[in-house]
Amino acid sequence: MKPTVFKRLLFYFIGYTALLVGVLYLAQRFLAPTLYFNQIVADDEREMNQIITAFKAGATPLELEGIGETFEGEISIYSAQGTPLYDETTDGALRSIDVVRIFQEGSVEQLTGTSPEYLEVYRVDETYIYRMKTPFAPFVSNIVLLNQFFLILVGLSILLVVPVSYLFARSFTKPVVTLNQMAKSFAALDFKLTAPMARRDEIGELSRTLESMALKLSKTLSDLEKELAKEKELDRLQKAFVARISHEIKTPLSIIAAATESIHAHVPDAKKDYETMIFEEIERLSELTDDLIDLSQLESGRFTVHKKPVSILPLIDSVAKTLKPLSARKMTLTGDDFTVDGDEKRLLQVFRNLIKNALDHSDLDGPITIHCDASARAVTITNPHTPIDAATLARFGDPFYKPNEAHKGHGLGLAIARQLLKLHAASLSFTYDDQMIVRVQF
């Protein structure tokens, strides 16, 4: 069962009440008799002092009887031998053994009778023995009645403490539950609140603070949504502009290329270098335009692929053979073949971009290794490279991103490869571990 503040408060309140009543009962049961006994002894001694003072002052038995009428107990005065000199009781003389004990101890308090029925307090001086005899049975009856009363009180407490504890715990936790529900609605970005709690304590202050926070968050969220809508619209317009410009550039480039080829025979040999430069720039612009068109279609979601079973190892081998004449770097293809469901043309484009990127951007000499892992259905491209920080690796694959301007290309190849792999339910990742590692996971 899940612990809650309500359950804990209920348990603590019931336990505290039960403990308090239990302590009071035990105190009444065991401590109260002793306290009452000591109180009666103190009262008897105070009354006895009045009798002793009057007796030493020469009061007659009649005067002593008048003084004793104001006390609840009965006064007796004995000689040093235990003979009664003044006795309100019919007990007679004291036993010799009692006289000796009283003189030895100087002060004696004892209970007599079978119940017991009386409390006797003895005091002595050099010549006389004084006794105050007080009925003890009423005191015992009162203690019994008081204990019974406490038992009834314990029963009533048990009956009342549960509902009272429940109401107390509920009154405390109910606003907390309400505040928790408000916080959950905030977490769900729902800031529609009712009026704050009409309380003047800390919980009411907290509810008003939450309402104020909700109003500010609601306004901030509304402003952010408006800004986000503007950003999305700007992004849409930018992509539409790039796509349109790319198509517009494609046509004049084709015309320029055709016109340049038509005047090839009329270009003097001394100007052939200019003609070659024109063809190279036309080809570069044509590749850039094709990449922009592909990226625009991929990002817009209108790009389609035509899938069929494709063997990865032969496909990568053909790409490596095509790129080998473009670089003196050694390329090694290892691993086992596996088949994926994909568009062969677009997969060729992906691995051409990745391998060509490794050839163009490796800043250390050394072989490039391409490994096909059939069991993991992954392809890794490893090439020597100086250390690359995590922030730079995280941006690989972003459109138009280049770590520095010295890098060749336009920063579109990796972005296109990543988008094409998404259409094949595959992922592209970049890591550095002594070498640059590009991993394609199908």
CA nearest 413: which of 335, 340, 356, 330? 356
pLDDT, position 373: 93
Query: Average pLDDT, whole number, for the chain?
Result: 77
**pLDDT tier at 312 (50, 70, 90 boundaries)?**
very high
β pairing state of 107-112 and 118-124: antiparallel
Residue 370 pLDDT class (50, 70, 90 cuts): very high
Distances (CA, A) of 191 to 196, 216, 217, 228: 13, 9, 8, 19
The pTM of the full predicted model, rounded to 2 decimals, is: 0.42
pLDDT of residue 1 exceeding 50: no
- Residue in the block written with tokens 């490869």: 417
Share of the chain above pLDDT 70, in %: 77
Given a cut of 60, whether residue 406 has pLDDT beyond it is no
Is the model's pLDDT at 338 over the cut of 90?
A: yes
- 41-45, 165-169, 225-229: least confidently modelled range: 165-169
* Tokens at 386, concatenated: 């100086």
Q: What is the mean pLDDT of residues 39-62?
A: 81
Which long-range contacts does 424-428 make (Cβ < 8 Å, 24+ apart)? 424/305, 424/307, 424/340, 424/341, 424/342, 424/343, 424/346, 424/347, 426/340, 428/397
Distance CA 123, CA 106 (A): 6
Instruction: Kindly report which listed range (70-84, 147-161, 354-368, 394-408) carries the lowest average pLDDT score.
Output: 394-408
Nearest-angstrom CA–CA distance, 352 and 287: 13
Question: What is the per-residue pLDDT across 425-442, written as a single tens digit (0 to 9) for each?
Answer: 899 999 888 888 899 999
Q: Are 369 and 332 in contact (CB under 8 A)?
A: yes
Averaged pLDDT, 81-92: 86
User: Which pLDDT score is estimated for 410?
Assistant: 55
Q: Each residue of 87-105: pLDDT tens digit?
A: 888 888 988 888 888 888 8
DSSP conformation class of 97: H
How many whole angstroms separate alpha carbon 402 and alpha carbon 414? 10
- Give the containing element (helix H, strand E) for 258: helix 202-262
Structural domains of the chain, ranges and CATH numbers in brackets? 5-153 (3.30.450), 191-303 (1.10.287), 308-441 (3.30.565.10)
pLDDT of residue 298: 63
pLDDT score of 408? 56
pLDDT in tens, 115-134: 777 888 888 887 888 888 88
Query: Which comes out higher in pLDDT, residue 50 or 273?
Result: 50
Q: Which of 172, 73, 191, 208 is nearest to 132 (CA)?
A: 73
Q: Which of 348, 344, 253 is nearest to 307 (CA)?
A: 344
C-beta of residue 335 within 8 angstroms of C-beta of residue 371: yes
pLDDT at 251: 63
Range scoring the smallest mean pLDDT among 66-70, 167-171, 256-260, 438-442 = 256-260
58: exposed, middle or buried (Cβ count in 10 Å: 0-12, 13-18, 19+): exposed
CA distance 399 to 299: 11
Pick 70 or 48 by higher pLDDT. Answer: 48
156-200: pLDDT as tens digits: 777 777 787 777 777 777 777 777 777 777 777 776 665 666 677
